[in-house]
Amino acid sequence: MFDHLGIVVRDLAASRVFYSACLEPLGLRLLEDHSQSSREGWLVYGPPSRSSFLVVAAGRPGYWTSSHQASASPIHLALAAESTAAVDAFHRAGLESGGRDNGPPGSRGPSGTYYAAYLIDPDGNNVEAGRRAR
């Protein structure tokens, strides 16, 4: 498990709507709001325990060089879900909050033991929620 992960977005307000909606069914909440405008600041999402967290930031992080820019190289972010209902709710909330479908909820893989859904966020990143059969 990661300690934290950060992504940089072009429009923090649009990303806040998207991530707040689709992460909620996965038990991830907005923990900190450091937004200054839709172009500056950051948001911190995670579980109440804060064991790991996701930072969604706008602007230029200090560790970027002048050649870096938001959404130039989209990422794939895969998040664990506690149930297939949570995967379904993630997908539905994401579509209702500015995301685009990149694969509806359903069984994946040859054995069908992984249930997942995929969304494209406002910056073109692929965001997945999935649950492995136990």
| Rounded Cα distance, 31 and 104, in Å | 28
The ranges assigned to domains in the chain are: 4-59+76-132
Residue 74 contacts residue 93 (beta carbons within 8 Å): no
Q: What string of pLDDT tens digits covers the 134 residues of the chain?
A: 467 888 889 899 999 999 999 999 999 999 999 998 878 899 999 998 878 888 888 877 777 777 777 767 778 899 999 999 999 999 999 999 999 999 999 999 888 899 999 999 999 899 999 999 87
Cα dist from 14 to 38, 69, 81, 124, 127, whole Å: 8, 17, 23, 12, 15
- CATH number for the domain running over 4-59+76-132: 3.10.180.10
Phi and psi for 55 in degrees, rounded to 5? -105, 125
CA nearest to 70, candidates 51, 54, 57: 57
Query: What pTM was computed for the model?
Result: 0.86
